[in-house]
């Protein structure tokens, strides 16, 4: 409140008549988006090269990737040496086969994800359904209060009390009767199975969000509420299915003296992913591609070279935040703090805000014009850049607000008195205010200028340098190099 009054008055001295709210939660949250937008605006695409080799064995085709020498790669194993990549591609094009030099198969097991807490539900609904954080909360609240088909949604915990396991058989039966679409899944469910979700020691004030046995309102659900309910139900039913198991095979080849690697995945037991068919679907967009099945290979076998594809690529900028991404970043603030001591201290804490307040924080920044939405993506407005550059860095530091949250927890537990907490905060705030008195600042209008795209918008779909080349295609088409992105204009802040 003190900082909000101070910066609102400083803004009025420069002719800005709006309110400039500054808070220990909303300002660090805004800084997360500002920093991400700046990293996108400052990003300079760099070229790199990759080679896919199509191999054949027992009439089954699969893809192996070229493994460039480490001294020709960056820290993400991307080859930066175009002549080397071209030489490797040419050599492998003239090779008749690739010889398998190492084969390893490992059985992998994945446990079911926990039932949802509110933050994770908001994250997944943003990613899969395109819902905003506040919209997800409103829908979940309606499913709880109006339809009574889920448990309390404002939970920060995905675990369940052991006592709840006794209700599982009745809930599963009720869910099956309410929705015929579950008929194919029910035979695979084992109500006696006890997953890692049931753990009294890890349950906080409220347990994970799960469906209830009161299913008479389910048939009335349509559209977005139905989709959110289906996600919650699937996470719960996944607890009664086995682990997801698959064999991961890694095959290393030698082709004309160059190293290739093919990775295959063969599902052995779908397990809990039966409850979430989308988890078995191929990846889309910039996500890692789904592993391929490999033929029956053996050490020393020769695989025919069917095609060699030299790919001329560009590095990609960071993705802009979605509301779901921002919720996740607020929860896991420790990952964004550089100081190692502070990072360790912040692990396993509440992060920025609480499960019940994060959606409102984001919505407030949108309503005040500091954030705008472009599709699913959030972007900071000029006013946001100006404000973040003007406020003391400690105010906008996610680490600071997380430490305050810890201090409040200490007050709650009796480790620190309320008087001591207030005295420390008053002294700290007085110091920050004294630093800002007399500051001159210029704040831009809160809305993005009409027709001006956010900085990340100019970075999307970067053109490839050239078409991919293969032995079965014509010579590569020559592309034009991407221009260096224009740096976003920085706001004026005078001290």
- Distance from chain centroid for Cα 332: 11
Most distant pair of Cα atoms in the chain: their distance:
79
Taking residue 129's Cβ as centre, other Cβ atoms within 10 Å add up to 17
Phi then psi for residue 370, to 5 deg, are -90, -20
CA–CA distance, 241 with 185 (Å, rounded to integer): 10
C-alpha torsion 203→206→212→213, nearest 10: 70
CB 378 within 8 A of CB 384: no
Catalytic residue among 16, 152, 229, 370: 152
CA-atom Rg of the chain in angstroms:
27
**Token pair for 358:** 């994060």
Of 379, 396, 359, whose CA–CA distance to 22 is shortest?
Answer: 396
In the three-class reduction of DSSP (H, G, I as helix; E, B as strand; rest coil), residue 244 is classed as strand
Using the structure block, give the residue that is written with the tokens 């977005």. Answer: 224
- 144 in catalytic set: no
From residue 133, alpha-carbon distances to 19, 26, 155, 320, 449 in Å are 24, 15, 14, 16, 25
Beta strands in 227-301 (DSSP E): 244-255, 258-269
Identify the CA nearest to 210 among candidates 144, 276, 268. 144
In sequence order, what are the beta bridge partners of 476?
none
Task: Give the span between the Cα atoms of 354 and 265, in whole angstroms.
Answer: 39
Tell me the catalytic residues: 152
């Amino acid at each position: 409140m003190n900082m909000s009054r101070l910066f609102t008055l400083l803004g009025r001295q420069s002719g800005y008549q709006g309110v400039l709210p500054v808070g220990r939660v909303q300002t660090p949250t805004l800084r997360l988006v500002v920093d991400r937008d700046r990293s996108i605006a400052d990003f300079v695409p760099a070229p790199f090269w990759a080679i896919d080799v199509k191999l054949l064995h027992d009439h089954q085709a699969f893809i192996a990737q070229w493994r460039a020498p480490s001294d020709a790669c960056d820290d993400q194993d991307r080859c930066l040496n175009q002549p080397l990549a071209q030489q490797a591609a040419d050599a492998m094009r003239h090779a008749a086969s690739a010889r398998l030099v190492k084969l390893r198969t490992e059985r992998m097991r994945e446990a079911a994800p926990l039932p949802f807490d509110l933050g994770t539900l908001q994250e997944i609904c943003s990613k899969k359904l395109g819902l905003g954080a506040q919209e997800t909360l409103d829908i979940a609240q309606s499913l709880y209060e109006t339809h009574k088909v889920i448990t309390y949604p404002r939970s920060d915990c995905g675990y369940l009390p052991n006592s709840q396991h006794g209700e599982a058989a009745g809930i599963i039966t009720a869910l099956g009767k309410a929705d015929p679409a579950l008929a194919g899944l029910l035979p695979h469910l084992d109500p006696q199975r006890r997953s890692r979700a049931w753990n009294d020691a890890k349950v906080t004030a409220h347990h994970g969000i799960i469906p209830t046995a009161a299913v008479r309102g389910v048939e009335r659900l349509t559209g977005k509420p139905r989709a959110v309910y289906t996600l919650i139900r699937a996470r719960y039913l996944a607890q009664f299915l086995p682990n997801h198991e698959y064999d991961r095979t890694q095959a290393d080849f030698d082709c004309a003296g160059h190293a290739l690697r093919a990775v295959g995945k063969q599902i052995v037991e779908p397990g809990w992913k039966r409850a979430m068919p989308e988890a078995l679907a191929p990846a889309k967009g910039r996500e890692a591609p789904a592993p391929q099945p490999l033929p029956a290979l053996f050490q020393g076998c020769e695989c025919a070279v069917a095609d060699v594809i030299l790919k001329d690529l560009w590095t990609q900028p960071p993705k802009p935040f979605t509301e779901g991404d921002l919720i996740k970043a607020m929860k896991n603030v420790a990952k964004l703090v550089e100081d190692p001591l502070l990072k360790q201290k912040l692990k396993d804490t509440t992060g920025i805000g609480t499960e019940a307040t994060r959606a409102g924080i984001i919505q407030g920044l949108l309503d005040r014009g500091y954030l705008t939405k472009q599709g699913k993506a959030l972007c900071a407005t000029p006013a946001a850049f100006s404000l973040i550059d003007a406020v003391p860095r400690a105010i906008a530091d996610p680490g600071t607000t997380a430490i305050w949250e810890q201090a409040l927890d200490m007050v709650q537990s009796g480790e620190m008195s309320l008087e001591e907490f207030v005295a420390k905060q008053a002294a700290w705030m007085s110091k920050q205010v004294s630093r800002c008195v007399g500051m001159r600042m210029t704040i831009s209008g809160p809305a993005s200028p009409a027709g001006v795209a956010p900085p990340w918008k100019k970075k999307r779909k970067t053109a490839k340098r050239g078409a991919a080349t293969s032995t079965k295609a014509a010579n590569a088409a020559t592309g034009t190099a991407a221009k260096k992105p224009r740096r976003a204009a920085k706001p004026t802040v005078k001290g």
